[in-house]
Structure 1
Amino acid sequence: MKIRTFTFAINIKFVIQPISITALSSISALGTTKDEVWSNYQRREHLFKQKMFDAHMEWVAQLDTEAAKEIQELRNSDSKYKKLDDSVLFAIYVSRKAIEEAKWRASDNFGINIGSSRGATSLFESYHSEYIQNKKSSTLTSPTTTLGNISSWVGHDLNSKGPEVSHSITCSTALHALLNGIAWLQSGMADKFLVGGSEAPLTPFTIAQMKALKIYARMSPLAQSKDPLDDYPCQALNLDKKQNTMILGEGASVACLEKGLAKNALAQILGIGYATEILKHNISISSDAKCFQRSMQMALGEMNPEEVDVIVMHAPGTIKGDASEYKAVQKIFQKKQPVLTSNKWQVGHTFGASGMLSVELAVLMLQHQEFIGTPFISYESKPKKIRKVMVNAVGFGGNAVSILLSK
């Protein structure tokens, strides 16, 4: 059993024992099954649609008709679920499928950590509107809009006996859930942990918040030209773009973690890293993303950076966000850089769920031994074999996470 030792800049050492990902499940514009998700990645077409918000058309990445129907069926399957937010239902849906794939049972006493950046956004907006109009609040307003809703209801649905944790660490929430799950496993307090994130942010107020930051994609074409790249509303990892192009998506993704090298492992977690940027303002990040430099270096440990074949970037489609992360990669990997990719140009930014959707892409590339790139990079060479993939995520507040995976 291989054990890796990591040394922090502040001279604290920790040991990461082998951790296996034994199941993955997701729901998003990409689909609901691994085959469907992989097929959509191979098509290399964006999945955005136009939707009306407060009399304005905006780009979004929403569930397709079939997936939305399955969520509605889940809502109608139990009277208790009728009042739950989509963020909770998304989490229940993917958790059921992940547990089935991993062949876990309630008696396995597994833990749950599924977080969200925004939580029950749609319900909260509905309840608040009702209060403004009637000056009264519905009975279930508080219990159905707390963030703890997500893991608590998943635990209820799965009849689990272990700890149930929900948190919000903005857009790196899902990868922080993974970090927390690893900590529980390494402490010996649990043998299995279900981790991930869920987000249902396609609401008028949430879209308005992103537009107020001036980071949301415009409905008009990016340029009056014949350049085929202008057909992509989100230009994540296009380092030459002249305007911000972030687009929101909805969905959830979870992973089953187990101690040791499991026979049914989809991938192994080789390294973990995290760091926080020193803020200058609420959404600041340094021009060379020092938080990512630290998190990637921590995830690498003593490993030669040249061993990393691919990095799945956070790359939200904003000018500063994409460029700063790219500069951080240059600092850490220098002349021998891994090939870079992102899925947000295709499926949008799912906030707290985005990191685990990136892990899913990484694992699928490892399994199929096929690199999935972006339209904005001319790949002179692609890895012939994909052995190690790093996944990045960062959120408001500069809280970066990097995860190193291997087949």
Structure 2
Amino acid sequence: MMQPISITAISSISALGTSPEEVWANYKSAKPLFELRKFDAKQAWVATLNTTAKKEIEQVRNADAKYKKLDASVLFAILVSRRAMDQANWKETANFGINIGSSRGATALFETYHSEYIKNKKAATLTSPTTTLGNISSWVAHDLNSEGPEISHSITCSTALHAMLNGIAWLQSGMAEKFIVGGSEAPLTPFTIAQMKALKIYAPVTSTSPSQRGTQQMVAEGSFGYPCQALNLDKKQNAMVLGEGAAVACLEKGVSKKALAQIIGVGYATEILKHNISISSDAECFQRSMQMALGETSHDEVDVIVMHAPGTIKGDASEHRAIQKVFGDKVPALTTNKWQIGHTFGASGMLSVELAILMLKHEEFIGVPFTSYRSRPEKIKKILVNAVGFGGNAVSILLGKN
């Protein structure tokens, strides 16, 4: 890092809730936040926004006539960006950049428009302007009345952490003083679920029928176990589950007294693929991104790694092997949040950053309930966050306490 970068705010919306207090309480509860929903008459486990969060999104949609035709992914980003800006106390300035990406973009809206086109042989007037990927940052910029650069991109599941890399680069170049960065994803649609099932990576539905007991009660009872087996390195079948959500962070140049955390190091790498969706068996991209992020930081200074760990057999195992190669016999405590909120694609990396910041704040480790830990960190001062996506594009961010 050429100069320090502070995270002065972070805001999210997901199955965990919408406020830091609610998010932390759900992490502490150690209960998965999934429910069974039907997609084209077939059930699938998913992690949806809770009732309160859904109402807040509808309030955003209905508050302005221009917002009524926007995709949920855009509305998610607008809501969390408003809150992050307020938290960072940026109310008096419009001179900040925005980089909010998405793996899939306006998924539900695109599917709706396409279905209408197939039926009517005519595209709706707003089809193109409301389904382009750049829609997210553009609408956030409009909503916040910002005057800085606005960027949207898709780098699959590492999108949010690539947005953080971009924001850091702008700040360190001197071309900006402040940046909102993150990702937003609303992928719970029949076609998206079908795509994941076609890859044979989705968690199977093997529980008791939810008609007998509500799915939330089943979660509380633990009667179906844990649908998503992220970080279970002994699992015999793939067990990824999708979730919806968004998360953004406010970045400022220098060491700020109001910072939630400092960005100590960043790393990135892309490896040559042997298959369209896989990374190497020992995740060479992660090895390189973690080494770059660590820089001169001693390996034993890292207390926790928040893994990408999507819940697939090969994905979880390859990242774990990469960590072992980098850290040797000094592997930090490992965790992930996907067992609880599912994989939120392009938003997942920033939700992992939020978990890291909360653990730094409370100095408490949030582990995976079905994973055995020889020991848990007594102190939490530095946390490494990983993300990777289709294409082998890994990012690692090293965070430290302010």
Q: CA RMSD in A?
A: 1.1
Q: 1:128 aligns with which of 86, 99, 114?
A: 114
Q: How does 1:200-279 map to 2 (within 5 A)?
A: 200-221=186-207, 231-279=225-273
Tell me how far 1:317 sits from its aligned partner.
Answer: 0.3
Could you tell me how far apart the structure 1 residues matched to 2:72 and 2:333 are? Answer: 35
Tell me how far 1:303 sits from its aligned partner.
Answer: 1.5
Conserved? CA contact 2:94–2:145, under 8 Å: no
State the match for 1:87 in structure 2. 73
Secondary structure of the residue that 1:389 maps to in structure 2?
A: strand
Tell me how far 1:284 sits from its aligned partner.
Answer: 1.5
Q: 2:323 aligns with which of 320, 323, 329?
A: 329
Q: How far does the alpha carbon of each residue in 1:50-83 deviate from its partner, in whole angstroms, 9 at most, with x for none?
A: 0010000110000011100110111000000000
Tell me how far 1:16 sits from its aligned partner.
Answer: 2.6
Q: 2:144 aligns with which of 158, 164, 169?
A: 158
Say if 2:389 is the partner of 1:395. Answer: yes
| Matched residue count | 388
Tell me the TM-score normalised to structure 2 length.
Answer: 0.95
Task: Determine what percentage of the aligned residue pairs are the same residue.
Answer: 76
Could you tell me how far apart the structure 1 residues matched to 2:351 and 2:2 are? Answer: 23
State the match for 2:366 in structure 1. 372
Tell me how far 1:107 sits from its aligned partner.
Answer: 2.7
Secondary structure of the residue that 2:350 maps to in structure 1?
A: helix
Secondary structure of the residue that 1:255 maps to in structure 2?
A: strand
Q: 1:171 aligns with which of 157, 160, 173?
A: 157
Could you tell me how far apart the structure 1 residues matched to 2:332 and 2:351 are? Answer: 20
Tell me how far 1:105 sits from its aligned partner.
Answer: 2.8
Q: Provide structure 1 residue ranges, at least 5 long, that are not aligned to the other structure.
A: 1-14, 223-227
Conserved? CA contact 1:106–1:161, under 8 Å: no
Q: Report the residue type matching 2:338 in the other structure.
A: K
Q: Report the residue type matching 2:248 in the other structure.
A: V
Q: Report the residue type matching 1:85 in the other structure.
A: D
Secondary structure of the residue that 1:314 maps to in structure 2?
A: coil
Conserved? CA contact 1:21–1:268, under 8 Å: yes
Could you tell me how far apart the structure 1 residues matched to 2:307 and 2:223 are? Answer: 19
Could you tell me how far apart the structure 2 residues matched to 1:88 and 1:356 are? Answer: 16
Q: How far does the alpha carbon of each residue in 1:18-61 deviate from its partner, in whole angstroms, 9 at most, with x for none?
A: 00000000000000000000000000000000001000011000
Conserved? CA contact 2:113–2:123, under 8 Å: yes
Q: Report the residue type matching 1:362 in the other structure.
A: A
Q: Report the more deviating stretch, 250-259 or 100-109.
A: 100-109
Conserved? CA contact 2:261–2:400, under 8 Å: yes
State the match for 2:281 in structure 1. 287
Conserved? CA contact 1:147–1:167, under 8 Å: yes
Could you tell me how far apart the structure 2 residues matched to 1:256 and 1:287 are? Answer: 35
Q: 1:339 aligns with which of 333, 338, 356?
A: 333
State the match for 1:12 in structure 2. none
Cα distance change on mapping 1:229 and 1:384 into 2, 3 Å: farther
Secondary structure of the residue that 1:298 maps to in structure 2?
A: helix
Could you tell me how far apart the structure 2 residues matched to 1:309 and 1:270 are? Answer: 14
Could you tell me how far apart the structure 2 residues matched to 1:229 and 1:374 are? Answer: 18
Conserved? CA contact 2:229–2:235, under 8 Å: yes
Conserved? CA contact 2:105–2:131, under 8 Å: yes
State the match for 2:97 in structure 1. 111
Q: Provide structure 2 residue ranges, at least 5 long, that are not aligned to the other structure.
A: 209-221
State the match for 1:138 in structure 2. 124
Q: Report the residue type matching 2:67 in the other structure.
A: Y
Q: How far does the alpha carbon of each residue in 1:210-244 deviate from its partner, in whole angstroms, 9 at most, with x for none?
A: 0000000000159xxxxx79600000000000000
Tell me how far 1:390 sits from its aligned partner.
Answer: 0.2
Secondary structure of the residue that 2:243 maps to in structure 1?
A: coil
Q: How far does the alpha carbon of each residue in 1:184-231 deviate from its partner, in whole angstroms, 9 at most, with x for none?
A: 000000000000000000000000000000000000159xxxxx7960
Could you tell me how far apart the structure 2 residues matched to 1:284 and 1:91 are? Answer: 29
Could you tell me how far apart the structure 2 residues matched to 1:188 and 1:25 are? Answer: 25
Could you tell me how far apart the structure 2 residues matched to 1:173 and 1:194 are? Answer: 14
Conserved? CA contact 1:115–1:150, under 8 Å: yes
